[in-house]
Amino acid sequence: MSSVDDLSGKKRAILIAAEKCFASQSYEGVSIRDIAHEAGVPIALIGYYFGAKNELYHAIFEYHSSYISERLAALRQARQHSDPATALSNIVNVYILPTLKLKDDEEGNYFSRMVMRGVIDQHEASERISKEFYDPMAREFMAALQEALPHASPESIHWSYQFALGALLHHVLDTRTERLSAGLCPAHQGDLAAPYLVNFIIAGIRSATSGNLA
């Protein structure tokens, strides 16, 4: 049975505590003791429910697997049913907006920051997560871009994905925007940032795939 099949009480408290810890510091910097303290449970209980730290890390993504599956399904839907005139916009929207919506939810914010931190840290546990949960989404996004922009070279599609992810990653992790904008751009309100980020990424993809490189 999956460790998240019957998630309630102390199991849920442990997962939420782990998300908080992994979101705030590197995977290597988080100890089982830290998570137990955050959850208010004995250290041994974490091992009993989830096993080693890497298995607990994986269990968090199992817990959120429906969100990941929904994003992948939305990408496939946009790829198959978008009008050519709006295909690129639809693809970028369904790729970006769920993450911004998640960021605005307190628990979701821990998870989204944890995901992005894993991308930056590139540790062994996050490599497993990338291959299992996120590589299929990356390939679907790039395939959708290639179909929406048939003139684009495969190389430009790959780099477009890479840089789009970079912009999203930075926005999710950055906490300076409210300070730098003197309060005009609150970091916690993704709905305000969404049209700017989406338009920025769309314009970047169009430019990167145009073939007119400096």
**Beta carbons within 8 Å of 129's beta carbon, 6+ residues apart:** 57, 58, 61, 118
152 to 61, 142, 155: CA distances (angstroms): 33, 11, 8
Average pLDDT over residues 168-189: 83
Give the pLDDT of residue 142: 95
Average pLDDT over residues 158-173: 91
At the topology level, CATH places domain 64-208 in: Tetracycline Repressor; domain 2 (1.10.357)
Q: What is the dihedral of CA 22, 123, 165, 71, to 10 degrees?
A: -70
Position 212 confidence tier, pLDDT thresholds 50, 70, 90? confident
Position 7 confidence tier, pLDDT thresholds 50, 70, 90? low
The full set of domain ranges for the chain reads: 9-62, 64-208
Cα separation, 65 vs 94, whole angstroms = 17
Highest mean pLDDT among 56-60, 68-72, 101-105: 56-60
Query: Domain 9-62 - what CATH class?
Result: mainly alpha
Instruction: Specify the pTM.
Output: 0.82
16-27 confidence digits (pLDDT tens)? 999 999 988 888
